[in-house]
């Protein structure tokens, strides 16, 4: 009976440790808030709130979704795209609001079908333009007082965002 109690105690301890480690791996409260910076004349803004993020470029809604952190890395999973993102690319028919990826695909598909594009070309264009949960992007990150540094490599290029808390 004593061995069963010890085993049960050990299992509870291990489960608790794993559970707490998993929560810590996903949250870093230092990120919560608004972070802004300017790179090559382009304004970059991230808003973090307990595992959710919004990303703006030159004040225009770009993407939003969820994020997790683990061992100095932050992984973004986009769930929505801002209508302004597409307006800046010259696509009309988008309001200044958040669109789910599926809403964007439907609107784009209809616009392209109405313009006479073939299905294969439409699929290629949508795959190229649309973020998806399979297109997670991971940055290494560090937070020091009121500075956030995000670093990643995209297509062989090193990309660094240096942001200040506002």
- Supply the pTM of this predicted model: 0.74
Q: Provide the token pair at 4.
A: 């069963």
- Written as tens digits, the pLDDT of the chain (166 aa) is 554 444 333 334 333 433 333 444 467 999 999 999 998 899 999 999 999 999 999 999 999 999 999 999 999 999 998 988 777 777 777 888 999 988 988 888 888 888 898 989 888 887 777 655 457 889 999 999 899 999 988 888 898 999 999 9
Q: Provide the token pair at 64.
A: 């939003």
* Whether the Cβ atoms of residue 48 and residue 35 lie closer than 8 Å to each other: yes
């Amino acid at each position: 009976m004593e061995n069963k109690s010890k085993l049960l105690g050990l299992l509870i301890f291990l489960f608790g440790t794993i559970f707490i480690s998993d929560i810590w791996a996903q949250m870093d409260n230092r990120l919560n808030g608004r972070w802004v910076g300017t790179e090559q004349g382009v304004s970059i803004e991230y808003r973090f709130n307990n595992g959710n993020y919004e990303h703006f470029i030159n004040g225009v809604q770009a993407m939003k979704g969820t994020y997790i952190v683990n061992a100095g890395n932050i992984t973004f999973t986009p769930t929505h795209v801002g209508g302004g993102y597409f307006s800046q690319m010259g696509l009309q028919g988008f309001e200044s609001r958040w669109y789910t990826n599926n809403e964007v695909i439907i609107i784009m598909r209809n616009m392209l079908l109405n313009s006479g594009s073939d299905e294969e070309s439409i699929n290629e264009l949508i795959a190229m333009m649309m973020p998806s949960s399979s297109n997670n992007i991971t940055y290494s990150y560090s937070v020091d007082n009121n500075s956030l540094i995000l670093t990643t490599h995209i297509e062989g290029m090193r990309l660094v965002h240096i942001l200040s808390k506002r």
